[in-house]
Amino acid sequence: MSKQSNLRGVIEATAIVIGSFVGAVVIITLLVSGKSESPTTPVAPKVVENSAAEENTQPVAAVEVADASPAGSNAIAADKIVQANCAMCHASGLMNAPKIGDAGQWAPRIAQGKDTLIHNAINGIRTMPAKGGNAALSDEEVAAAVIHMVNSAGGSF
């Protein structure tokens, strides 16, 4: 008798699951088909004025890209690169960086030679990060900045 009652329970549970599934499919089908009917009268498109939104979404600034074809090594504005990237440390001597224009601090570095100084500036040395922390700078821009700082301290690179 227990086997028969277990079988009856399984059949009832299966019927409930199948019935619930079929019922859900029928309800979903009715809901979807009821919303897909097209209206009998055409509806005019709504026109929304976006003038306030357009005023609020104007760009803050415009970017102008300079000509990317340098006319030579003088086309790189070394002083601007130094001011934007190097001066933070080299203007004040932060983290023992040689100060711009201080011949005494630059003399031992100048003695190492142009190639060594440029290599160290590109790859970083001690507390100075590679390219002064600006990975977007090209090797030529870093070299121009190094030459500018050395020359301002009495060097002649």
pLDDT interval class at 20 (50, 70, 90): very high
Q: Identify whether the C-beta of residue 144 lies closer than 8 Å to the C-beta of residue 96.
A: no
Task: Provide the pLDDT for residue 157.
Answer: 79
Instruction: Tell whether the model's pLDDT for residue 91 goes beyond 60.
Output: yes
What is the chain's alpha carbon radius of gyration, rounded to the nearest angstrom? 37
Q: Angle at CA 78, nearest 5°, toward 74 and 83?
A: 160
Specify burial of residue 152 (Cβ count, 10 A radius: 0-12, 13-18, 19+): middle
Q: Identify whether the C-beta of residue 22 lies closer than 8 Å to the C-beta of residue 14.
A: no
Q: What is the mean pLDDT of the chain?
A: 83
pTM for the structure as a whole: 0.52
Q: DSSP for 9-73?
A: HHHHHHHHHHHHHHHHHHHHHHHHHHHTPPPSS--PPP----HHHHHHTS-S----PPP---SSG
Name the more confident of 117 and 45. 117
Instruction: Tell whether the model's pLDDT for residue 71 goes beyond 50.
Output: no
Q: State the number of CA atoms in the 13 A half-sphere of 86 facing the CB.
A: 27
Instruction: Tell whether the model's pLDDT for residue 48 goes beyond 70.
Output: no
Task: Provide the pLDDT for residue 18.
Answer: 96
Q: Could you identify the residue written with the tokens 């601007």? A: 80
Instruction: Tell whether the model's pLDDT for residue 74 goes beyond 50.
Output: no
Mention every residue, 6+ apart, whose C-beta is less than 8 A from residue 149. Answer: 82, 86, 90, 98, 100, 106
State the distance between the two ends of the chain, measured CA to CA, in whole angstroms. 105
Task: Provide the pLDDT for residue 26.
Answer: 94
Of the given ranges (7-16, 18-27, 71-80), which has the lowest mean pLDDT?
71-80
Name the more confident of 67 and 91. 91
Residues 86 and 80: their CA atoms lie apart, in Å, by 10
Over residues 106-131, mean pLDDT: 91
